[in-house]
Amino acid sequence: MTAERTSLEASAWPPLREELRGIAPYGAPQLDVPVQLNVNENPYGPSAEVVADIAASVAEAAVDLNRYPDREFTDLRTALADYLNTDGGLGLTADQLWAANGSNEVMLQLLQAFGGPGRTALSFAPTYSMYPEYARDAMTNWVVGRRETDFSLDLDAARELIREHRPHVVLLPSPNNPTGTALPPEAVSMLCEAAATDDHSGIVVVDEAYGEFRRAGTPSALELLPQHRNLVVSRTMSKAFALAGARLGYFAASPEICNAVRVVRLPYHLSAVTQATALAALRHAPELLGRVDDLRRERDETVGWLREQGLRVAETDANFALFGTFEDRHAVWQGLLDRGVLIRETGPDGWLRVSIGTPGEMTTFKNALTEVMKAGS
Ligand SMILES: *Cc1c(COP(=O)(O)O)cnc(C)c1O
């Protein structure tokens, strides 16, 4: 037995955790292609004025780079609270805000604090492909239910699954990635109530990475924070704010939840450069978010066009559309790539996801897809 273990361990190099062996790292392809519509980035870069303000703010921060940054990033938390109060937040204050290097890090911190060995995180597929990886990295059991064929949530089935597994963390994007589906407020409230019973407390994380792209009349889960102390609503500056390169994600929740996450964060996890960049960008929120309306229009236009081609398109409140279905989706994806258009092969079998780009990029996409579909018929 001992000999066997020794030989097994000797053959494994590097000596990785068993469950990580042979796993490929996250990788949406980063290909050098003229039209990149694969990772839901905002196609509009910051204006010269915003770039200049970010550069000046970073220069100012650079003077003190011999010192560690403000560990509690109080100015940034205040600015994020003020911003959220313009988009669904109800009187949020700095002690209800938390931030990290992208909402990916925020999610990992939440799982480190509230998940862990012997605990369970739960979601409903199709969902964000990174969630099971965060759960694995935080050594948290992963349970996944199914969405309906229209990608909505069957509330009775969801309640039942939560009752059965008693998750400590329920993770749900709204709008959902990769489908674009937003969760109605009744669903969020039901999940919060189901996750916290007399003898069990779980938190519900609504990942609003695409929140700003929601259609008029679709509420944000931020509005429900006063009613549910176990609700966490996360956002990111990567998508609507056109700041994916800066890495800033954040959440709003009760002060107790924010405090709990402080225990697991690495010391000084948000660099002074990151804080200065995010603060500068928030000062220009109206400009950076000004393009969101254009993108929402372009999205609705794209959905309409895809449907006119006889394709199915999932209802979307995000800056992307999931469409199909194709017998050989890989061939369609490849055909588009051959024509200089990179989209994402993701979601259930037969579906493809396209991020919304500039009008010019969407015209190239449509022309390429028309050609590919003609060639295939
Ligand atoms: C893009 C995305 C994020 C954002 O991740 P960052 O780390 O903030 O760039 C979070 N959640 C979902 C579902 C996403 O699609």
Give me the DSSP letters along 268-321: T-S-HHHHHHHHHHHHTHHHHHHHHHHHHHHHHHHHHHHHHTT-EE---SSSEE
Superfamily in which the 28-46+290-376 domain is placed by CATH:
Aspartate Aminotransferase, domain 1 (3.90.1150.10)
Enumerate the domain spans of the chain. 28-46+290-376, 48-283
Instruction: Say yes or no: CB of residue 40 within 6 Å of ligand 1.
Output: yes
For domain 48-283, give the CATH number: 3.40.640.10
DSSP 171: E
Q: Whose CA is nearest to atom 6 of ligand 1?
A: 102
Instruction: Say yes or no: CB of residue 102 within 6 Å of ligand 1.
Output: yes
Instruction: Say yes or no: CB of residue 207 within 6 Å of ligand 1.
Output: yes
Query: What is residue 1's predicted lDDT score, i.e. its pLDDT?
Result: 43
Task: Kindly give the pairing relationship between strand 169-173 and strand 203-207.
Answer: parallel
Q: Specify the ligand 1 atom closest to the Cα of 249.
A: 8
Q: Using most ligand atoms within 8 A of CB, pick from 123, 130, 356 the residue to mutate for ligand 1.
A: 130
Query: What is residue 9's predicted lDDT score, i.e. its pLDDT?
Result: 53
What is the chain's pLDDT, residue by residue, as a tens digit (377 residues)?
444 555 555 567 889 998 888 888 877 777 889 999 999 999 999 889 999 999 999 999 999 999 999 999 999 999 999 999 999 999 999 999 999 999 999 999 999 999 999 999 999 999 999 999 999 999 999 999 999 999 999 999 999 999 999 999 999 999 999 999 999 999 999 999 999 998 899 999 999 999 999 999 999 999 999 999 999 999 999 999 999 999 999 999 999 999 999 999 999 999 999 999 999 999 999 998 889 999 999 999 999 999 999 999 999 999 999 999 999 999 999 999 999 999 999 999 999 999 999 999 999 999 999 999 998 75
Assess whether the region 28-46+290-376 and the region 48-283 belong to the same CATH fold.
no
CB environment 211-220: b (16+ within 10 A), e (fewer)? bbbbeeeeeb
Q: Is the previous residue joined to 325 through a cis bond, with omega within 30 degrees of 0?
A: yes
Distance 104 CA to ligand 1 centre (A): 6
Distance 200 CA to ligand 1 centre (A): 29
Q: How many CA atoms lie within 13 A of 323 on its CB side?
A: 22
* pTM to 2 decimal places: 0.94
Q: What is the CA 289 to chain-centroid distance, rounded?
A: 17
- Which distant-in-sequence residues (6+ apart) come within 8 Å of 344 by Cβ? 28, 37, 38, 39, 178, 352, 353, 354, 355
Query: What is residue 23's predicted lDDT score, i.e. its pLDDT?
Result: 87
